Amino acid sequence: MQRYSLLWVKFKDKEFNHEQATKTLPDNERMVSVILSEMGKADWLEMKLDPEDAREGLYRLKSPENIIKEIARGVEK
């Protein structure tokens, strides 16, 4: 949650790439890859390919409100 918070403060709901995330987080490049992957699996962010460079991914965080609602829905089941 701490890393999500750092990214949210910096980017809010704007798109960012891996390099920008690496500059924002206090982790090394490999760890940032793991963090972004885990956030994607948790459905905390959306990922897509960069239209200008298909080798690069673009990320967009889901809002904290939406994440909390999704967590609450999971608990209710």
Which residue ranges form the domains of the chain, and what is each CATH number?
A: 2-76 (1.10.10.10)
Phi, psi of 26 (to 5 degrees): -85, 15
* Sheet arrangement for strand 16-17: 16-17, 53-61, 45-50
**Cβ(45)–Cβ(61) under 8 Å?**
yes
pLDDT in tens, 22-37: 999 999 999 999 999 9
pLDDT in tens, 42-71: 999 999 999 999 889 999 999 999 999 988
Q: How many CA atoms lie within 13 A of 1 on its CB side?
A: 3
Min mean pLDDT across 13-17, 35-39, 56-60, 71-75 is at: 71-75
Q: How many CA atoms lie within 13 A of 28 on its CB side?
A: 1
pTM here is 0.88
Whether 76 has a pLDDT exceeding 80, the answer reads no
